[in-house]
Amino acid sequence: MAGLRVGYPGLTYTAEGIASLIGECDIFCEPFAGLGRISKNIVANKIIVNDMSDFSIKYLNKEFPDAIVTQDDFVECIKKHDSKETTFFFDPPWSRVDYAKNPKTFCDRGVGDYYKELAEIVPTIKGKWFCAGRVSGGSRSTVTVYFKEYNYEIVRSNRKINGHNAQTKVYFNKGDE
């Protein structure tokens, strides 16, 4: 799958660790699925993968034949599939520049706008949710700006990127647990 994405490939290398953090689900929904890197590692009775990229939709339909594949704005996807049985994983764009370089991706607003909208939505979600972002790096750590009041874990990989182990900061609200 080389060449499908320009930019930070950390989620690829931390996907198994993130899926382990999430655990088994009744319904798993990934509103920014991209290539479904997290969904590939999730154990769930029902999987919903959503993305706005035409390329991603074709890929998801092929690679996830048993999943529900949708092409909705992430807000609509969340509203449509929210329930006490749903676990969401949010991975909005981390860098608009990366998306601008790759015509196979979709990014229709600033990175901060995605995280701000998510921060406004998550207090109303009935199910569990997890939100990924960069561990550090100026505007690339937008998840920290909007989700600082929530618990988080840093998921690390043994795989190196630019001389450092790949890592993803994952904020979460596991509901009533």
Pick the CATH number of 10-173 from 1.20.1250.20, 3.40.50.300, 3.30.1960.10, 3.40.50.150: 3.40.50.150
Distance CA 38, CA 44 (A): 12
Would you kindly state where each structural domain of the chain is located, as residue ranges? 10-173
Residue 153 in this model has a pLDDT that exceeds 80: yes
Please give the C-alpha separations between residue 24 and each of 39, 43, 48, 64, 151, in angstroms, as whole numbers: 11, 5, 14, 18, 19
Q: What is the pLDDT of residue 5?
A: 40
Helix then strand then coil, in percent of the chain rounded to 5, is 35, 25, 35
Q: What is the pLDDT of residue 91?
A: 87
Taking residues 32-42, report their average pLDDT: 93
pTM: 0.85
Residue 82 in this model has a pLDDT that exceeds 90: yes
Q: What is the pLDDT of residues 9-34, one digit of tens each?
A: 558 889 999 999 999 999 999 999 98
Q: Band of the pLDDT at 75, cuts 50, 70, 90?
A: very high
Q: What is the pLDDT of residue 18?
A: 95
